[in-house]
């Protein structure tokens, strides 16, 4: 009788399993599940798909963390801290990987990386979030500095995030975000776009301060002859008043893809980013990408090479008008090639496997 291979146990703590982080975790967990015994301890968000469990490979074990909270509740955070410790004790993992800021803070104090390798991926540092005042940003940065002294390696998901990490700790690695192009291609092939209205400009995500709906609205008002679409919803939807903007509300994956495929220009006005999955998917779909000049965006898009990077409302308007009046084959092909060669899950999974394997040997 053949001997059963015992796979290393890999435990992910994911405090905010929504949006791009959700897609990231699904692809990573599924991609590593043949070699690792993968556990995902998580909390959901309003934008998490209702059937989120169906996205995961059956081999991935899902554990809901009851006390993960988006708010800075001391009582909730204390409860989450002990819940994380209890989950880890029950699983007895060989590796722990913390995702997003809150899980990163709690996890680096709950586990110090002495008994097992410990990793942390910020997915966008809190101290770079411009919806917080200067004093809060300083507090968040100080917290990250304190946590960086723990025995943990930070794996950033973009060049810019890695540069910020290196200011905090020498235990810094970089694995750029990537998308699952084979899965995305399957979805694209099955999407029916015949019933969807055409839009000139679109974006995707929660309508929050991060995504800068005020700027999006200004651009739409300045381009009254173009149709704009926001795929998603959020608490700041009232900031969008331009009559040529349509808000889809939360829709399923197929509907979001059909909207995107039937649109021309992907606009991202974010005030901060990690490395947005929506941007990578737009690049793969050969959409013209017009993005704000922030970490994550300008790490991927080079102005007038594979898209447009903008620092002002006027820059955005010029880039959109230029995209509507000239041939863009060179730009979209360059962006598409970047996805095939670098920003895809095949590359991401290979790099993570190498990192984990090395950590287990040390």
Q: What pLDDT does residue 49 have?
A: 86
Q: What pLDDT does residue 162 have?
A: 93
- β-partners of residue 290 are 267, 308
Q: Which residues contact 281 (CB under 8 A, 6 or more apart)?
A: 179, 184, 260
Confidence at 342, pLDDT banded by 50, 70, 90: very high
Average pLDDT over residues 36-55: 91
Rounded Cα distance, 285 and 274, in Å: 21
Is 90 exceeded by the pLDDT of residue 204? yes
> pLDDT digits over 262-290, tens only?
999 999 999 988 889 999 999 999 999 99
Q: What is the pTM of this model?
A: 0.84
Mean pLDDT of the chain: 92
Q: What pLDDT does residue 274 have?
A: 81
Helix (H) or strand (E) holding 173: strand 172-174
Domains of the chain: 9-178+345-361 (3.40.50.2000), 181-341 (3.40.50.2000)
Give the phi and the psi of residue 105 in degrees, each rounded to 5: -70, -55
Question: Pick from 267, 284, 287, 265: which is nearest to 199 by CA?
Answer: 265
């Amino acid at each position: 009788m053949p001997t059963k291979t015992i796979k290393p146990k890999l435990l992910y703590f994911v405090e905010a399993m929504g949006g791009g982080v959700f897609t990231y975790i699904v692809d990573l967990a599924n991609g590593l599940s043949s070699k690792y015994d993968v556990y995902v301890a998580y909390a959901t968000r309003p934008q998490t798909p209702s059937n989120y469990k169906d996205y995961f490979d059956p081999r991935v074990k899902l554990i809901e963390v009851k006390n993960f909270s988006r708010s800075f509740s001391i009582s909730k955070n204390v409860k989450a801290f002990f819940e994380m410790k209890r989950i880890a004790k029950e699983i007895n993992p060989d590796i722990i990987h913390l995702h997003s800021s809150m899980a990163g803070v709690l996890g680096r104090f709950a586990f110090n990386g002495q008994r097992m390798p410990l990793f942390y991926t910020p997915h966008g540092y809190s101290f770079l979030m411009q919806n917080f005042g200067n004093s809060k940003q300083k507090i968040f940065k100080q917290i990250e500095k304190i946590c960086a002294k723990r025995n943990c390696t930070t794996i950033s998901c973009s060049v810019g995030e890695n540069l910020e990490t290196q200011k905090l700790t020498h235990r810094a690695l970089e694995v750029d975000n990537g998308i699952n192009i084979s899965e995305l291609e399957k979805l694209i092939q099955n999407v029916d776009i015949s019933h969807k209205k055409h839009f000139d400009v679109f974006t995707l995500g929660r309508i929050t301060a991060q995504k800068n709906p005020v700027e999006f609205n200004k651009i739409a008002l300045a381009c009254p002859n173009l149709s704009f679409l926001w795929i998603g919803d959020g608490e700041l939807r009232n900031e969008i008043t331009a009559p040529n903007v349509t808000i889809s509300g939360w829709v399923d994956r197929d509907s979001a893809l059909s909207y995107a495929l039937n649109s021309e220009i992907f606009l991202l006005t974010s005030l901060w980013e990690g490395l947005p999955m929506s941007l990578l998917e737009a690049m793969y779909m050969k959409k013209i990408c017009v993005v704000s000049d922030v970490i994550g965006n300008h790490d991927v898009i080079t102005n007038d090479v594979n898209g447009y990077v903008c620092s002002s409302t006027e820059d955005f308007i010029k880039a959109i008008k230029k995209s509507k009046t000239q041939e863009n084959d060179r730009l979209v092909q360059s962006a598409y090639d970047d996805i095939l060669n670098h920003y895809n899950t095949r590359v991401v999974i290979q790099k993570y496997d190498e990192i984990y394997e090395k950590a287990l040997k040390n």
